[in-house]
Amino acid sequence: MINLYKSGGNISSVNRASVSRNSPFVRRMAGAALAVVVEKLNDFAPENLAEKWDNVGLLIEPYTKRNINKILLTNDLTENVLDEALALSSDMIISYHPPIFAPLKRITQKSWKERIVSICLENKIALYSPHTSWDSVTNGVNDWLAASLPLASAQPVIENLSNPSFGAGRICVIRGELTLGAAVDRIKAYTKLKDLKLAIAVNRNIESPIRTFAVCAGSGTNVLKGVKADLYITGEMFHHDILDANHQNIHVILLNHSNSERGYLPIFRQILLSMLKKYQGIQIDVSEQDIDPLQTY
Ligand SMILES: [Zn+2]
């Protein structure tokens, strides 16, 4: 499990495969049916692992069936990422966050969400979203984030009722011992982030030893509340919950919401390539347009 994550989340290192498979003949013969890809996605992370409030699975299924040859992986499906999918002639987009969450009452051109749905349909692009099923599953987003530090063990913070090895967040024991400062350096190197936010626990400092830590990809406010650990690593937390954690001798590292998730995409690309290896000519790209909306200036 851990070796899978050694390469970290280097999106820029993912080579875009040759586009020489664009000839109509090859596109007709190669690839896999949408139903096959969806089945493989479900084999990896069953949709019933997702939280009850979530909206996961196949969200857009074009009327005209065509084989899936080109898949684009993204954390968020913004209009910039959709332009990229059109330029790449993607047949399918796998967007970690569900682009359709609140019910849509109409599909016009007035809002960006409606435009995304209409452009996908018009261009016969299927859309799948795994979201919290990927958070829960083994070798998913939280296991990727947990592997940012040397691990002796990692278990879900909130166990899945049907399978206790799956679940939300991870509570981890460090292999060996690290100072907080060394942990910060390792997390930056692993995530390839130039900066992160650190809230140091009251009465502790950058040299304090870290023996246990808890992670929650995305927003950690609910999952991490009350969890005992030396350090929390998450994307975002509310101000008062950070103060609460610091007063319970817990340091907090915030990466920004999607920066705590996005580095998993190159890992999942390898997993999906392996699951689809018997189908010829499938190209899987990781979006280069997908970035966290919050940048440091
Ligand atoms: Zn998220």
Distance (angstroms) between ligand 1 centre and the Cα of 61 equals: 23
Percent of the chain clearing pLDDT 90 (strictly above): 88
Residue showing tokens 């074009």: 62
Q: CATH no. for residue 33?
A: 3.40.1390.30
Distance (angstroms) between ligand 1 centre and the Cα of 218 equals: 4
Would you call 229 exposed, middle or buried from its count of C-beta atoms within 10 A (0-12, 13-18, 19+)?
A: buried
Distance (angstroms) between ligand 1 centre and the Cα of 216 equals: 10
For 211, phi and psi rounded to 5 degrees? -110, -30
Distance (angstroms) between ligand 1 centre and the Cα of 176 equals: 30
Please check whether residue 292 lies inside any domain of the structure. no
Residue 64 lies in domain: 3-134+261-286
Q: Which helix (H) or strand (E) holds 104?
A: none
Number of domains in the chain: 2
Segment 78-86 mean pLDDT: 98
**Residues paired with 233 in a beta bridge:** 215, 253
pLDDT of residue 29: 59
Please check whether residue 297 lies inside any domain of the structure. no
Answer for the pair 172, 154: CB distance below 8 angstroms, yes or no: yes
Q: Does 103 share its domain with 117?
A: yes
If phi > 0 it is left, if psi is from -120 to 50 it is alpha, else beta; for residue 126 that is: beta
Distance (angstroms) between ligand 1 centre and the Cα of 53 equals: 13
d(CA 126, CA 104): 17
Q: How does 152-190 read in b/e, with b if 16+ C-beta sit within 10 Å?
A: eebebbeeeeeeeebbbbbbbebeeebebeebbeebbeb
What mean pLDDT value characterizes the chain? 92
Q: Does 69 share its domain with 112?
A: yes
Distance (angstroms) between ligand 1 centre and the Cα of 235 equals: 8
Is 232 strand, coil or helix?
strand
Answer for the pair 260, 237: CB distance below 8 angstroms, yes or no: no
With a cut of 50, say whether residue 1 has pLDDT above it: no
Distance (angstroms) between ligand 1 centre and the Cα of 43 equals: 22
- Reported confidence tier of residue 238, pLDDT bands at 50, 70, 90: very high
Distance (angstroms) between ligand 1 centre and the Cα of 135 equals: 9
d(CA 228, CA 248): 9
d(CA 132, CA 98): 10
Distance (angstroms) between ligand 1 centre and the Cα of 114 equals: 21
pLDDT of residue 199: 98
pLDDT of residue 15: 45
The model's pTM is 0.90
pLDDT digit string, tens, across residues 25-43 = 544 558 999 999 999 999 9
Q: Does 199 share its domain with 84?
A: no
Distance (angstroms) between ligand 1 centre and the Cα of 97 equals: 6
Distance (angstroms) between ligand 1 centre and the Cα of 23 equals: 37
Q: Does 200 share its domain with 103?
A: no
Answer for the pair 264, 284: CB distance below 8 angstroms, yes or no: no
- Helices (H), ranges, 68-179: 79-87, 112-122, 132-136, 141-146
CB atoms closer than 10 angstroms to residue 109: 9
Q: Does 92 share its domain with 64?
A: yes
Higher-pLDDT residue of 3 and 157 is 157
Distance (angstroms) between ligand 1 centre and the Cα of 262 equals: 9
